[in-house]
Amino acid sequence: MVTVGEELDGDVLAVVRQRTLGELQAQRCRAVLFELSALTILDRSEFRELRAIGEMVRVLGAVPVLVGLRPGLVQYLVETDVDVTGVRAFLTLEQGLAGLRAEGGGSSWSRA
């Protein structure tokens, strides 16, 4: 699980990318949950970068899942025509874990 704070600027995204990919390689996780409930601002470019990190996770064989996005941020992304096709997301961490278990995502988790 990757926990993100209140802001997700370029420096934070670089750390998220580096740590996520490093832990994924070391732990061989089946899924990576990006816990975003503390995030208060998310612009289009930050979302695209987060989505790119998710695509890297997918290429490495794990399922990327966003959890905890605030409804207002989701509304902004949809209203500004950000491509959310294929993004797996759940309102809460518990729902995300349950969704992965139901889909055979397993129970092998690691913290980045």
Please report, for the chain, the start and end positions of each structural domain, with discontinuous segments joined by +.
Answer: 2-102
> For residue 107, is pLDDT > 60?
no
When pLDDT is averaged across residues 50-71 and rounded to a whole number, the result is: 95
pLDDT tens, residue by residue, 12-22 = 999 999 999 99
| CATH architecture for the domain at 2-102 | 2-Layer Sandwich (3.30)
The first and second tokens of residue 108, run together, are 């092998």
> For residue 97, is pLDDT > 70?
yes
What's the CA gap between 50 and 105, in Å, rounded? Answer: 21
When pLDDT is averaged across residues 56-77 and rounded to a whole number, the result is: 95
Q: What does pTM read for this prediction?
A: 0.86
Q: What is the pLDDT of residue 47?
A: 95
> For residue 110, is pLDDT > 70?
no
